[in-house]
Amino acid sequence: MLFSRPGCHLCEEMKDVLARAKVVPRFRLREVNIEEDPELLKRFERSIPVLEIAGRTAFKGRMSPADFRRKYARIVADSGPESSTD
């Protein structure tokens, strides 16, 4: 799950990195606009983007495709093949 907001350049960068990172098993990205939920806005207002994988915070701010592949592989191995970014 990617917590983001419209107009966030770091959020766009993270989505671009995710699009370029080829991983197996494939992931399903669910993007959540923090501006649509007052609780999420309060929680993440100054720390977006935040990427959760299998319910765990995996990245805040920036990441590289290699960082994502490495962490994703580790979390999938720990959680099983049903893991996704959701």
Report whether pLDDT(84) > 80.
Answer: no
Residue 83 lies in a domain: no
Q: What is the per-residue pLDDT for 83?
A: 46
Q: What is the per-residue pLDDT for 34?
A: 97
Residue 19 lies in a domain: yes
Residue 37 lies in a domain: yes
Domain harbouring 61, CATH code: 3.40.30.10
Quick: pLDDT tens for 9-68: 999 999 999 998 888 888 889 999 999 999 999 999 889 999 998 888 999 999 999 999
Residue 85 lies in a domain: no
Determine contact, residues 35/80, Cβ cutoff 8 Å.
no
Q: What is the per-residue pLDDT for 80?
A: 63
